[in-house]
């Protein structure tokens, strides 16, 4: 089967710094791929390259059979790649619903006539999207539904992550990039959140996920395969047991934890 | 206390404050000597402090949110009542007209800075472009005068396009500098331009709509109405339209996109939001509103000069927005009234008004950065209760 996402020879240089070095990576349709590696190993850079924020210095990226290099973040999102951010990039002064609808931007009607003058049609659409957002929140945390019109800044860290995940999923992407969803949360919260994501994935059809994570427990529980990066290069690839047994990986990253 | 709160959360919560506001503003506008001006300001401050202490603010806010249409009608009624009360008083009517013109211009600034986060230090220049467009079109062409109003807005929006490229290519402080430079250039340009009358300025022909000459008073029975009354009525109409447009814009997917662009450009781009498109939209729309207000204001003034549209005036518009609460158009109304009327009435501070504005803005930024009436999270439909 063809992979949903394939990168070959991907390199990203910032002046003298090589953030990604000749990286080959594949994500198969429907899998959860773990992406691990020490700080500064290029994980987030890879996400930024995949979503079009950076243009890679060399290499190819094929998504669903088509080249996406050179596409703007907007075009890449329209093709079906959505992401979350390591440092949660929600709009804190906007409401939960607003934040989710930002993720839904491409599905919203944006012409002036409809938005300013055709208010009845607008209200109908608004109610439809409100119900959809409520449904998504219900699946993650029912208590968020009644806080849908409160500013996101009032929410706890885990609830903010949930909103971020709703924002990424509302446009029904084919590939979801999760950048360290556990950052700022306790172990229990992280486990809960990952279970929720896995569960919502089951109901949502064949969503492919690439997950950046430092918590090895999360990687073990949630991913079917992982790729280990170090200094922008792929150290090894395989299932969790294979990866943690790899001596190079132990040296670079896991050594102390396994002792 | 509880029963009082329940009582005020209903209709009386809208109507009573509206009546109080009407009584206060009519007293304030008629106040001639400095002592009564001072007393009325003190009484207003006392009312606000008591209201905040007793937590009436929230009750009032909820009541207004629940009866939005009624509150809008109350505000329009207050303005109409004031216009009728001061039908013969040129000066008060002129002040009310100025307030409405400024409020409309700041609505435009609010779309730019409050929603899309595009800093614009040249709001008064676009206000001026509208004014000069009106002056030139009325003098040099046979266009129907009413058409010059939207044209004033359109020319201001077009002039804004000159700034678009540098504003979009730069970000943050640099974009602000670009607009500052424009404000200064605009003033100099007017000063040296023979065509636009140079530093002396040019007269603006009065508006005539369907044979109705706006420069003449109306006699109706025994009473003589000031000619400003017609301008005030038109300005009220324009302000209502601008207010309604801005509010609908905020409560729409467009408003959401603008807010997203302001909050986080990178995240917005990753969700398919076209940053440039929405910045251009907000900037152009805001300049249109400022230009429209400027055109009408120029007609009311009947004579405009570069001194009306200086960089200091742009700062004045910005301070109105900061004072009122960035993004909250109700706050804009309150702040415009305060900023325009207090120096006019308080002759003592007239000399020092920019000093006082800047002190006020500094105090606001330090102690209440959200403004007098902070913006609330968006509701998409009116009457949410």
In a domain, A9, yes or no: yes
The answer for residues whose C-beta is within 8 angstroms of residue A4's C-beta and 6 or more apart is A27, A28, A29, A63, A64, A174, A175, A208
Note the pLDDT of residue B66.
Answer: 79
Residue linked to tokens 């401050």: B45
Out of A73, A94, A112, the one facing B263 most closely (by C-beta) is: A94
Question: Can you give the residue ranges of every domain in chain B?
Answer: 1-85, 90-367
A88 domain residue, yes or no: no
Q: Are residues A124 and A187 in the same domain?
A: no
Gap from A48 CA to chain B (nearest CA, Å) = 9
Query: Residue B203 contacts by C-beta under 8 Å, 6 or more apart in sequence?
Result: B135, B139, B302, B303
Position A102 in a domain: yes
- Which residues contact residue B87 at a Cβ distance below 8 angstroms, ignoring those fewer than 6 apart? B93, B223, B225, B226, B229
**Residue A134 belongs to domain spanning:** 94-172
Q: pLDDT digit string (tens) for B165-193?
A: 888 887 778 888 999 999 999 999 999 98
pLDDT at A259: 47
Judge whether residue A183 has pLDDT over 60.
Answer: yes
Tell how strand A5-14 and strand A58-63 pair up.
antiparallel
List strand residue ranges (DSSP E) for B61-181, in order: none
- Domain assignment present for residue A241? The answer is yes
Q: Which of B146, B186, B147, B133 is nearest to B163 (CA)?
A: B186
Residue A4, min C-alpha distance to chain B (Å): 19
Note the ipTM here.
Answer: 0.89
Interchain CB distance below 8 Å, A74 and B378: no
Nearest chain A residue to B277 by CA: give it.
A110
Distance (Å) from the alpha carbon of A199 to chain B's nearest alpha carbon: 23
Rounded Cα gap, residues A22 and A34, in angstroms: 19
Domain membership flag for residue A116? yes
What CATH number should be reported for the domain holding residue A23? Answer: 3.40.50.300
Pick the CATH number of B90-367 from 1.10.3470, 1.10.8, 1.10.443, 3.30.1070: 1.10.3470
Within 8 A of B260 by CB-CB distance, chain A residues are: 91, 94, 102, 105
The answer as to whether A89 is a domain residue is no
Cβ count near B60 (within 10 Å): 18
Beta bridge partners of A6: A26, A62
b/e per residue B236-267 (b: at least 16 CB within 10 A):
bebbbebbebbbbbbbbbbbbbbbbbbbbbeb
A36 found inside a domain: yes
Instruction: Give the pLDDT band of residue A205 (cuts 50, 70, 90).
Output: low
Same domain, A135 and A181: no
- How far, in whole angstroms, is CA B189 from its chain's centroid? 25
Contact B271 A103 (CB under 8 A): yes
Shared domain for A178 and A61, answered yes or no, is yes
Q: Tell if the CB–CB gap between A94 and B269 is shorter than 8 Å.
A: no
B263·A93 Cβ contact <8 A: yes
Instruction: Note if the pTM is more than 0.80.
Output: yes
**Nearest alpha carbon to residue B87 among B239, B238, B208, B219:** B219
Examine the domain organization and report whether A23 and A51 are in the same domain.
yes
| Count of domains for chain A | 2
Residue-wise pLDDT tens digits, A210-256: 999 888 888 888 888 999 988 888 888 888 888 888 888 777 765 55
| Tens-digit pLDDT profile for residues B187-245 | 999 999 888 888 888 888 887 776 677 777 777 777 777 888 888 999 999 999 999 99
Domain identity same for A100 and A151:
yes
Same domain membership, residue A105 and residue A181: no
Give the whole-angstrom CA distance, residue B316 versus residue B322.
10
- pLDDT computed for residue B321 by the predictor: 93
What's the whole-number mean pLDDT along residues B324-328? 90
Task: Work out the number of other CB atoms within 10 angstroms of the CB of residue A3.
Answer: 17
The answer to whether the CB atoms of A110 and B256 lie below 8 A apart is no
Q: Do the Cβ atoms of B191 and B306 come closer than 8 Å?
A: yes
Strands A175-179 and A81-83: parallel
Q: Do A115 and B377 touch (CB under 8 A)?
A: no
Beta-carbon contacts of B232 under 8 Å, excluding residues fewer than 6 positions away, are B83, B93, B96, B97, B100
Write the pLDDT tens digit of every residue in B73-132. Answer: 888 988 998 888 888 888 889 999 999 999 999 999 999 999 999 989 999 999 999 999
How much is the average pLDDT of A75-90?
91
- Are B227 and B93 in contact by the 8 Å Cβ rule? The answer is no
Among candidate residues A73, A42, A59, A79, the one with its CA nearest the CA of residue A6: A59
Last residue of a domain, one of A172, A207, A233: A172
Q: Which residue has the tokens 């706890």?
A: A156
Instruction: Give the angle subtended at the CA of B239 by the CAs of B237 and B242, to the nearest 5°.
Output: 110
Same domain, A76 and A191: yes
**Of A172, A196, A211, which residue sits at a domain end?**
A172
Largest CA distance in chain B: 67
* A214-220 long-range Cβ contacts below 8 angstroms, 24+ apart: A214/A36, A214/A180, A214/A182, A215/A182, A215/A187, A215/A190, A216/A36, A216/A244, A216/A254, A216/A257, A217/A187, A217/A191, A218/A182, A218/A190, A218/A191, A218/A194, A219/A34, A219/A36
Last residue of a domain, one of A143, A172, A201: A172
| A115 and A161 both lie in a single domain | yes
A39 and A75 belong to one structural domain: yes
Q: What angle do CA A177, A183, A184 make, to 5 degrees?
A: 145
Residues A122 and A103 in one domain: yes
Task: Please check whether residues A186 and A201 belong to one and the same domain.
Answer: yes
Is there a contact between A135 and A142 (Cβ–Cβ < 8 Å)? no
Residue A155 in contact with partner chain B when CB distance is under 8 A: no
Alpha-carbon span A192 to B84, nearest angstrom: 65
Q: Give percent of chain A above pLDDT 70.
A: 95
Question: Is residue A85 assigned to a domain?
Answer: no
Is residue A168 located within the same domain as residue A180?
A: no
Q: Name chain B contacts of A52, Cβ cutoff 8 Å.
A: 269
The C-alpha R_g of chain A, in whole angstroms, comes to 19
| pLDDT single digits (tens) B188-199 | 999 998 888 888
């Amino acid at each position: 089967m063809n992979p949903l996402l394939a990168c070959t020879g991907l390199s990203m240089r910032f002046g003298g710094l090589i953030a990604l070095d000749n990286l080959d990576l594949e994500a198969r349709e429907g899998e959860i791929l773990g992406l691990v590696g020490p700080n500064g190993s290029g994980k987030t850079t890879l996400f930024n390259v995949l979503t079009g924020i950076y243009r890679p210095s060399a290499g190819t990226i094929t998504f669903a059979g088509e080249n996406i290099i050179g596409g703007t973040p907007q075009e890449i999102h329209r093709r079906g790649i959505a992401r979350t951010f390591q440092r949660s990039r929600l709009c804190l002064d906007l409401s939960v619903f607003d934040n989710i609808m930002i993720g839904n931007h491409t599905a919203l009607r944006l012409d002036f006539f409809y938005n300013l003058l055709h208010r009845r049609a607008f209200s109908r659409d608004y109610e439809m999207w409100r119900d959809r957002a409520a449904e998504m929140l219900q699946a993650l945390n029912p208590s968020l539904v009644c806080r849908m019109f409160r500013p996101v800044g009032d929410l706890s860290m885990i609830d903010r992550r949930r909103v971020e995940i709703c924002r990424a999923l509302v446009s029904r992407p084919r590939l979801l990039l999760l950048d360290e969803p556990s950052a700022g949360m306790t172990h229990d919260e992280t486990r809960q959140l990952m279970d929720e994501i896995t569960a919502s994935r089951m109901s949502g059809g064949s969503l492919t996920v690439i997950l950046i994570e430092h918590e090895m427990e999360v990687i073990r529980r949630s991913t079917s395969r992982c790729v280990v990066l170090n200094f922008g290069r792929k150290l090894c690839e395989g299932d969790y047991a294979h990866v943690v047994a790899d001596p190079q990986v132990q040296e670079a990253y896991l050594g102390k934890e396994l002792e | 206390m509880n029963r009082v709160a329940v009582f005020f959360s209903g209709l009386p919560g809208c109507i009573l404050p509206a009546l109080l506001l009407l009584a206060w503003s009519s007293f304030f506008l008629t106040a001639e000597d400095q002592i009564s001006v001072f007393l009325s300001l003190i009484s207003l401050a006392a009312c606000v402090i008591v209201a905040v202490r007793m937590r009436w603010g929230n009750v009032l806010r909820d009541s207004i949110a629940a009866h939005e249409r009624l509150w809008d009608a109350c505000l329009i009624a207050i303005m109409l009542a004031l216009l009728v009360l001061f039908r013969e008083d040129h000066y008060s009517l002129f002040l009310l007209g100025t307030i409405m013109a400024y409020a409309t211009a700041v609505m435009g600034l609010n779309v730019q800075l409050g929603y899309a986060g595009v800093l614009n230090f040249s709001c008064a220049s676009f206000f001026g472009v509208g004014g000069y467009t009106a002056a030139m079109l009325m003098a040099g062409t046979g266009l129907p005068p009413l058409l010059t109003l939207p044209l004033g807005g359109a020319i201001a929006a077009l002039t804004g396009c000159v700034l678009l490229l540098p504003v979009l290519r730069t970000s943050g402080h640099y974009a602000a500098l670009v607009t500052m430079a424009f404000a200064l250039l605009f003033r100099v340009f007017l000063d040296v331009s023979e065509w636009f009358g140079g530093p002396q300025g040019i007269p603006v022909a009065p508006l005539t709509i369907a044979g109705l000459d706006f420069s003449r008073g109306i006699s109706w029975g025994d009473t003589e109405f000031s000619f400003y009354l017609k301008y005030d009525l038109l300005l009220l109409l324009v302000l209502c339209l601008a207010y309604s447009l801005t509010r609908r814009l905020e409560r729409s997917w467009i408003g959401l996109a603008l807010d997203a662009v302001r909050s986080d450009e990178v995240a917005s781009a990753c969700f398919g939001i076209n940053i440039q498109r929405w910045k251009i939209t907000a900037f152009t729309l805001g300049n249109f509103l400022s230009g429209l207000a400027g055109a009408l204001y120029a007609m009311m003034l009947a004579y405009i000069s570069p001194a009306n549209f200086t960089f200091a005036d742009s700062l004045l518009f910005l301070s109105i927005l900061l004072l009122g609460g960035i993004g909250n158009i109700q706050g804009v109304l309150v702040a415009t009234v305060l900023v325009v009327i207090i120096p006019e009435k308080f002759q003592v501070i007239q000399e020092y008004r920019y000093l006082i504005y800047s002190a006020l803005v500094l105090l606001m930024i330090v102690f209440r950065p959200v403004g007098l009436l902070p913006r609330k999270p968006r509701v998409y439909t009116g009457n949410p209760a």
